[in-house]
Amino acid sequence: MANDPYSMCPCGSGKKLKFCCGEILPDLQRAFRIRDNQPEAAAKIFTDLLKKNPDKDVVARELTSTLYEMGQTAEARKVAADFLKSHPDHPGILLSLAEISLKEDGFEASRRILHRTFQLCSKTQPLGIAYLAAMIASGMAKAGCLLSAREHLALAVRMSTGERQKQLVLQLVSFESESSLPFHFRSAYQLLPITCSEETTQQDMRARKLSVLGCWEPATILYNRLADSYPTEGAIWYNMGLCQAWDGRIAEAAASLHHAATLLQDYDQAIEAEALAQQIDITLSTERYSTVAVRLNVRSMSEFLTRLESDPVFKRNDTHDHEHCHHPNGTGHTAMMVLLSSVVTADEVTDASKLPESIADLDLYDILDANEAAAASITDPFLVVTATENQIDTAIVKLRGIAGDLILTSADEEKKSVTDYERAEARPFDRRYYCPTGLTQKRFKSLVRSVEPQAIEAWLNLPLATLGGKSALEASKEESLKTKLGASLLVMLSVAANYDQAPDLKALRQRLNLPARQTKEIPANAAMAAIPAMQYERLDVARLADNQLSEFTNRCSVLGLRNQVRNGLDEILRRPAALKEFGARRAWLMRAAIARVEESDEFTFTCLENARQAIEPGGDAFRVHLELDIRELAFRLEDPTDPQLKPLLHKFRDRYLHKIPEIESVIIEQLENAGCPELAAELEGGLYAVGSSSGGLWTPGAENAPAAGGGQLWLPGQ
């Protein structure tokens, strides 16, 4: 702490040290010095100081903190509470008490004091509010209150500064990028305007101010009072539902949003409210199917593995990340395998119905250190079988049929533990096809893509609870279900996106006799992050400003909205200024990725070539050219008969291997994985073979190879 009597007092009072804590500074400094090693002595000093200076908030705050760190929670709370009795709503002490309450009692029990703290401390203690909001966000995420988790994290970002704000922004981006979560929960939402009367406008403004501060319970109370006065005003119910969701009261939120959907006159607003309610209902529903795991001990892992590999229905899965694999001490991950529904040859796969599916995952663990394993209560090698609840028994029966004498765990000892669960609506999309040996990746992906419409058809005929047990096709005949049906399409979109599918909602709406969605106009300065993701399909990308278009495309990419990403990229590629801002190479690469998924091969490679043309000379040009060529190689290896494959391998041979010889082994491995190891011969010889008279390394982008005897080696950046 500063000793200059005319410097600002470090306690944060805004007064000079001489007129604030000057007299007690030596005692404070002594307590600070010994607090880490002698907390009891420090607490004694702070206690004595507080008795002599009962109005010094810095002493009360430090005593509260010290007692809490010592584990004396009740005593810490009493110090803070007693100080607040004589100094009501003191920001610093209120913040300390709120933090203790949140950590010890959880959000539900601490909601009132937290919201009081948010209201009174946001201006003077924004970093403290950011800390509390981030802590709440973490708890909400674990509890499955995802809208609340995102909004509290956004609040923490707003309240923080500097490096801490950058860290929180990264956390928010990470949350919004989590593709396993429905995109509805990874989006911001806006309160609807309310203009019933001057009084409602004033109450609405109060609620909005509270919402900005994260005080969603008092905001909900205000909207609830307005709903009593104006029970048929849909916007009031919608706003109340959002505040309840942000406050972690998701069951109440779903009810309010369902009711709002019946009152809102605007059809698009109504289906968005209903879709959000339906998405929340899914998280609360018990209608789901689970993924379960069963652990089986075995006598000999090597013998067990040999038995499995002798049966073609079991296949190794070499995509597992062994380096970052977590398993009990003393054990090692021997192998990861999958159990197939059938065994077929490539020639037998005449259509997608013949493709085998993976019905179970097998993780095999052997003992590497007997002492460490014993300390972890592990005495035998074991495997973990993971499958959906309707497939797990089939998988275990198959295992016992092949190696039952090696399995030490009896059937009575089998314990099923739930590792994950999926909503019932996902069943039509949840298929795990396996590519048989000899079938090219191009053919395999084409077959898998060919069955995507079947998943949509299955969903259209699936009875849905939200439609009263009717299917979408049945509900399309009832006018009363129009809003719920339109919303169910938006919910289905989030399910399909999780399985890398992008259904054509416009065509589905026409088929189901639903109104087309109306184009949404937004101001030229509007931020895309503030617009609900469900409204993105309503935006006309041609009307977006360049910066909005770039942000729109980025956000749609993060949220997994492939159709909107494609629309955004196509518009960017038509605008030179927008293309420059977004990055031409990046835009073409993203467009190539979408074209590849959509099996537009010619356009895929056109995009890659355009990406090459966008590379700036010098600097990292050599590396970037190499990366693009490696990407093209991966694409072309999906079809080993591609006539451009050999010329591409010659390109690697002549341009790169003599500069970076280690990439040869990488290419050869790719060729082997693609089932065409014989093409490795194309890497031999060339311009720089032993005895070749060629004297230079060809520069990426050059029209011709260097002339023999040139004697010049091209270097990156030259």
Q: What is the largest CA-CA distance in the chain?
A: 93
Here the tokens at position 718 are 């030259």
Whether 718 has a pLDDT exceeding 50, the answer reads: no
Q: Which amino acid is at 288?
A: R
Q: What's the average model confidence in pLDDT over 709-717? A: 35
The verdict on 389 and 276 lying in the same domain is no
Residues 6+ apart with CB under 8 A from 81: 97
Angle at 116 between CA 112 and CA 119, to 5 degrees: 140
Tell me which of 511, 535, 559 is where a domain ends. Answer: 511
Whether 340 has a pLDDT exceeding 60, the answer reads: yes
Whether 702 has a pLDDT exceeding 70, the answer reads: no
Nearest Cα to 532, choosing from 163, 359, 279, 327?
279
Q: What confidence score (pLDDT) does residue 584 get?
A: 96
* 359: in domain: yes
Specify the range with the lowest mean pLDDT, choosing from 317-331, 439-453, 490-504. Answer: 317-331
- Please check whether residue 112 is in contact with residue 147, taking contact to mean a CB–CB distance below 8 angstroms: no
The residue among 1 and 294 whose pLDDT is bigger is 294
Which CATH number do you get for residue 204? 1.25.40.10
Which CATH number do you get for residue 369? 3.30.310
Bridge partners of 293, per DSSP, are 386, 417
The verdict on 405 and 297 lying in the same domain is yes
Q: Left if phi > 0, otherwise alpha if psi is -120 to 50, otherwise beta: which for 390?
A: alpha
Q: What confidence score (pLDDT) does residue 572 get?
A: 98
Whether 183 has a pLDDT exceeding 90, the answer reads: yes
Q: What confidence score (pLDDT) does residue 688 get?
A: 54
Tell me which of 459, 482, 511 is where a domain ends. Answer: 511
- Please check whether residue 358 is in contact with residue 391, taking contact to mean a CB–CB distance below 8 angstroms: no
Q: What's the average model confidence in pLDDT over 512-525? A: 94
Share of the chain above pLDDT 90, in %: 72
Task: Give the integer Cα–Cα distance in Å for 502 and 706.
Answer: 47
- Please check whether residue 649 is in contact with residue 630, taking contact to mean a CB–CB distance below 8 angstroms: no
- Please check whether residue 386 is in contact with residue 293, taking contact to mean a CB–CB distance below 8 angstroms: yes
Cβ atoms within 10 Å of 5's Cβ, excluding its own: 13
Whether 9 has a pLDDT exceeding 60, the answer reads: no
Total domains in the chain come to: 3
The verdict on 305 and 418 lying in the same domain is yes
Whether 28 has a pLDDT exceeding 90, the answer reads: no
Q: Left if phi > 0, otherwise alpha if psi is -120 to 50, otherwise beta: which for 377?
A: left
Q: What confidence score (pLDDT) does residue 544 get?
A: 96
* 694: in domain: no
Q: What confidence score (pLDDT) does residue 91 get?
A: 84
Q: What's the average model confidence in pLDDT over 274-289? A: 92
Mean pLDDT over each residue of the chain, to the nearest integer: 88
N residues, the chain: 718
Q: Which amino acid is at 473?
A: L
**pLDDT per residue over 619-633, tens digit each?**
889 999 999 999 999
The verdict on 391 and 319 lying in the same domain is yes
Q: What confidence score (pLDDT) does residue 695 get?
A: 39
The verdict on 200 and 221 lying in the same domain is yes
Q: What's the average model confidence in pLDDT over 641-648? A: 95
Q: What confidence score (pLDDT) does residue 68 get?
A: 77
The angle that helices 126-143 and 146-159 make with each other, rounded to 10 degrees, is 160
* 392: in domain: yes
In the 8-state DSSP scheme, what is residue 654? H
Specify the range with the lowest mean pLDDT, choosing from 230-234, 366-370, 646-650. Answer: 366-370
The residue among 491 and 92 whose pLDDT is bigger is 491
Q: What's the average model confidence in pLDDT over 500-524? A: 94
CA distances from 71 to 51, 67, 265, 316 (A): 22, 6, 56, 51
* 228: in domain: yes
Cite the DSSP H helix spans in 145-188: 146-159, 162-176
CA distances from 532 to 186, 191, 380 (A): 9, 11, 52
The verdict on 326 and 411 lying in the same domain is yes
Q: What confidence score (pLDDT) does residue 696 get?
A: 41
Whether 52 has a pLDDT exceeding 80, the answer reads: no
Nearest Cα to 49, choosing from 65, 60, 35?
60
Q: What confidence score (pLDDT) does residue 704 get?
A: 41
The verdict on 247 and 338 lying in the same domain is no
| Main-chain dihedrals φ then ψ at residue 163, nearest 5 degrees | -65, -35
Here the tokens at position 72 are 């004396």
* 530: in domain: no
**pLDDT per residue over 455-478, tens digit each?**
999 999 999 999 999 999 999 999
Contacts 24+ apart (CB under 8 A), 18-26: 21/56, 21/58, 24/49, 24/53, 24/56, 24/59, 25/1
Whether 574 has a pLDDT exceeding 60, the answer reads: yes
Q: What confidence score (pLDDT) does residue 686 get?
A: 64
Specify the range with the lowest mean pLDDT, choosing from 60-74, 196-210, 544-558. Answer: 60-74
- Please check whether residue 364 is in contact with residue 336, taking contact to mean a CB–CB distance below 8 angstroms: yes
**pLDDT per residue over 169-179, tens digit each?**
999 999 999 99
Here the tokens at position 584 are 């031409």
The residue among 692 and 672 whose pLDDT is bigger is 672
Specify the range with the lowest mean pLDDT, choosing from 30-34, 78-82, 247-251, 650-654. Answer: 30-34
Here the tokens at position 284 are 């609360």
The verdict on 296 and 387 lying in the same domain is yes
| Kind of pairing between the strands at 331-340 and 314-316 | antiparallel
Tell me which of 219, 253, 284 is where a domain ends. Answer: 284
* 527: in domain: no
- Please check whether residue 90 is in contact with residue 120, taking contact to mean a CB–CB distance below 8 angstroms: no
Q: What's the average model confidence in pLDDT over 287-292? A: 89
Q: What's the average model confidence in pLDDT over 263-285? A: 96
CA distances from 302 to 293, 335, 395, 401, 451 (A): 22, 10, 20, 17, 39
Task: Give the integer Cα–Cα distance in Å for 305 and 316.
Answer: 10
* Residue 415 binned pLDDT confidence (cut-offs 50, 70, 90): very high
DSSP collapsed to 3 states, 190-250? CCCCCCCCHHHHHHHHHHHHHHHCCCHHHHHHHHHHHHHHCCCCHHHHHHHHHHHHHCCCH
Specify the range with the lowest mean pLDDT, choosing from 13-22, 237-246, 325-334, 336-345. Answer: 13-22
Cite the DSSP H helix spans in 472-620: 472-475, 482-498, 505-511, 546-559, 562-572, 576-582, 584-597, 601-613
In b/e form, how buried is each residue of 265-300, taking b as 16+ CB within 10 angstroms?
Answer: eebbbbbbbbbbbbbbbbbeeeebbebbbbbbbbee
Task: Give the integer Cα–Cα distance in Å for 299 and 409.
Answer: 10
- DSSP letter string, 403-446: HGGGB-S-GGG--EEEEEEEEGGGGGG---B---TT--HHHHHH
The angle that helices 73-86 and 91-121 make with each other, rounded to 10 degrees, is 70
Residue recorded with tokens 């040996």: 437
Exposed / middle / buried, residue 332 (Cβ in 10 Å: 0-12, 13-18, 19+): middle
- Please check whether residue 402 is in contact with residue 298, taking contact to mean a CB–CB distance below 8 angstroms: no
The verdict on 256 and 336 lying in the same domain is no
Whether 711 has a pLDDT exceeding 80, the answer reads: no
**pLDDT per residue over 92-127, tens digit each?**
889 999 999 999 999 999 999 999 999 999 998 999
* 14: in domain: no
Say how far residue 260 (Cα) sits from the centre of its chain. Answer: 29
Domain containing 262 equals: 189-284
Q: What's the average model confidence in pLDDT over 637-662? A: 93
Task: Give the integer Cα–Cα distance in Å for 409 and 297.
Answer: 5
The verdict on 383 and 473 lying in the same domain is no
Here the tokens at position 670 are 């790719």
Whether 713 has a pLDDT exceeding 50, the answer reads: no
Whether 16 has a pLDDT exceeding 70, the answer reads: no
The verdict on 299 and 421 lying in the same domain is yes
Q: What confidence score (pLDDT) does residue 482 get?
A: 97
Cβ atoms within 10 Å of 394's Cβ, excluding its own: 14
The verdict on 317 and 219 lying in the same domain is no
